[in-house]
Amino acid sequence: MHILVFLLPLIVVYEIGSVRFLTNAQTGAMESIRAERLLRDFFEAVGVAGLHLPALAIVAVLLSWQIISRDRWRVRFPVLVLMGFESLAWTLPILVLNNAIGGSLLGGAAGDTMSALTAVADFSGMSWPQRVTIAIGAGLYEELLFRMVLIALVHMVAHDLLRIRDYPSRIVAVLISAVAFALYHDTALGDPTKFAFFFTAGALFGTVYLWRGFGIVVGAHAAYDLIALLL
């Protein structure tokens, strides 16, 4: 329940922002996060269509999780505040990693984040509401796709089908999701340094997801992208 309440403002801001700030008024074409587009394509492939289905999927999964866990439906505000601070804290190792491999918050990192869009966009001409929308969307839907969905699928195959023990299965799932996360970014293709950055960042996000939960890892990812796109 705390994760849902923590992420709900981000979900609302992205869904409103994508319609208002990432949609071309003349053509009606909407710029979107590639991970969100992949999720929408999956829903359409199984016969379910809708612009906001990925957002509804996050809410549905977290509500189902709350029901299955049988936890109390009570939200404690101090927990939400601490989740916010912890999310910010987890951006620090990623910022250090970015600078350690020769990246720049004023250039390289922003371009890397922009490469997650479904089409090439003019970063220099984007307004700050557009950048905020993109950063939040990347945090939400890339973590949904690469951590919650992909780690669960790989773990299921490794642990339930191949009978690998739970802990090694978790490691394999995190590493495979990290490789997929690196390949997902166009700027990492053909660039070993950037591939290493995205792989390491993906492995860190996967570890945070398994250790601290979906809410924290989304918050950390979105916070990093906000720093990269706004500074």
Q: Quick check: is 74 in a domain?
A: no
Q: Quick check: is 137 in a domain?
A: yes
Q: Which residue has the higher pLDDT, 108 or 224?
A: 224
Give 127's Cβ-side CA count (13 Å radius). 8
Selection from 202, 201, 179, 199 nearest residue 95 by Cα: 201
Confidence of residue 127 (pLDDT cuts 50, 70, 90): confident
pLDDT tens digits, 71-85: 889 999 999 999 999
pLDDT of residue 32: 80
Rg (C-alpha) for the chain, rounded Å, is 17
Would you report the helix, strand and coil content of the chain in percent, each value rounded to 5? Answer: 75, 0, 20
Asked whether residue 219 carries a pLDDT value surpassing 60, the answer given is yes
pTM above 0.95, yes or no: no
pLDDT tens digits, 160-188: 999 999 999 999 999 999 999 999 988 77
pLDDT tens digits, 138-152: 999 999 999 999 999
Q: Quick check: is 75 in a domain?
A: no
Q: Quick check: is 153 in a domain?
A: yes
Q: What whole-number distance in Å separates Cα of residue 45 and Cα of residue 42? A: 5
CB 212, CB 86: distance < 8 Å:
yes
pLDDT of residue 106: 43
Q: What whole-number distance in Å separates Cα of residue 199 and Cα of residue 106? A: 21
Average pLDDT over residues 220-228: 92
Q: Quick check: is 144 in a domain?
A: yes
Asked whether residue 189 carries a pLDDT value surpassing 50, the answer given is yes
Q: Quick check: is 90 in a domain?
A: yes
Q: How many CB atoms lie within 10 A of CB 125?
A: 7
Q: Quick check: is 210 in a domain?
A: yes
Give the domain extent around 200. Answer: 2-69+80-230
pLDDT of residue 24: 74
Q: Among the ranges 40-54, 112-126, 161-175, which has the highest mean pLDDT value?
A: 161-175
The count of structural domains within the chain is: 1
b/e burial code for range 137-163 (CB count within 10 A of at least 16 → b): bbbbbbbbbbbbbbbeebbeebbeeee
pLDDT of residue 34: 87
Q: How confident is the prediction for the chain on average, in pLDDT?
A: 87
pLDDT tens digits, 192-207: 888 999 999 999 999 9
Average pLDDT over residues 107-127: 61
